[in-house]
Structure 1
Amino acid sequence: MRKIIELGRPEWEGDTLVLHCSDPSVSLEHLRPCGQMIVDSDACAFIYLAEVDGEDDYTYLFLPVPVWHGLRSAVLEHKRVVAVSKDAKLELVQLEDEFRYLLENIRGNSNYGNKMLENVEAIFSVE
């Protein structure tokens, strides 16, 4: 079964945007960044893919609307984004390129659903 980890509580630590696991019991210790993202239009979230050591399945790192303003700043300013759990940090490598690609595909595209489209256009309209 695919594991989902929601990231929230964005904060800046120097030049790095830190996104904390919403569930304090979650560990990122055995995850490796994939450098790929997808979209969950129904949940209105971007998803960063991570691999679990020794497994063939992905873990979905959910990036919901409340963290989008921070992500927007990180992408525009070419800053690092790191997910943090109780015992580990995971840099979300290639996030900027993946994010820009998804934004280009979503803007003006009703296939992603009205809610997703409206949120993306409202938050990422000035780039």
Structure 2
Amino acid sequence: MNKRILISKANISDNKLLLQVNEPISGLIPTEQILVDSKQFSFVYLMENQEGYTYIDIPEPIWPLLKETLTRQIAVWIHFDEEELELTNFNEELVDIINNIRGNSNYGEEMVAKVEGIF
């Protein structure tokens, strides 16, 4: 069964971006893929476990911190209570998806404008 986990807040600490979630992340495995939800204006990092996929939903208010991770080349981690898990290949995938979105009306004019405005 697929599920979505929304990033509730984020901060940079100890030279890494910590994406805070409100539910357990144990057993999740990074797939090193980022999707786009152009209706919700969100980047979605794909993870999996034995039950299916989990979509880590990173909404627009978090994007300025994503830009900083690209500029500083720091790792991105998901965090719940005492659990932390690195979202491997995040920056490389984000650069690829941003480059694909720029000027590409297939994502919708508003999504393109938002991405171009921040990144």
Q: TM-score range by the shorter chain?
A: over 0.9
Residue 111 (str. 1) matches residue 103 (str. 2): no
Residue 14 of structure 1 is matched in structure 2 by 14
Cα distance, 1:8 vs structure 2: 3.2
Amino acid of the residue matched to residue 41 of structure 1? S
Q: Distance in 1 between matches of 2:94 and 2:63?
A: 11
Q: Which residue of 2 is the match for residue 51 of structure 1?
A: 48
Structure 1 equivalent of residue 33 of structure 2: 36
Ranges in structure 1 where 5+ consecutive residues have no aligned partner: none
TM-score by length of structure 1 reads 0.88
Deviation at 1:87, TM superposition (A): 4.3
Paired residue type of 2:96? Y
Identical amino acids, percent of aligned pairs: 35
The answer to whether the 8 A contact 1:27-1:87 is kept is: no
- Specify the alignment match of 2:3 in structure 1: 3
Aligned-residue Cα RMSD (Å) equals 1.1
TM-score scaled to structure 2, two decimals?
0.94
Measured after TM superposition, the shift of residue 91 of structure 1 is 0.6
Q: Deviation per CA, 1:8-66, whole angstroms, max 9, x where unpaired?
A: 31111121111101xx3x110111111111111111111001111x23x2100001101
Note if contact 1:82-1:90 (Cα within 8 Å) is conserved in structure 2.
yes
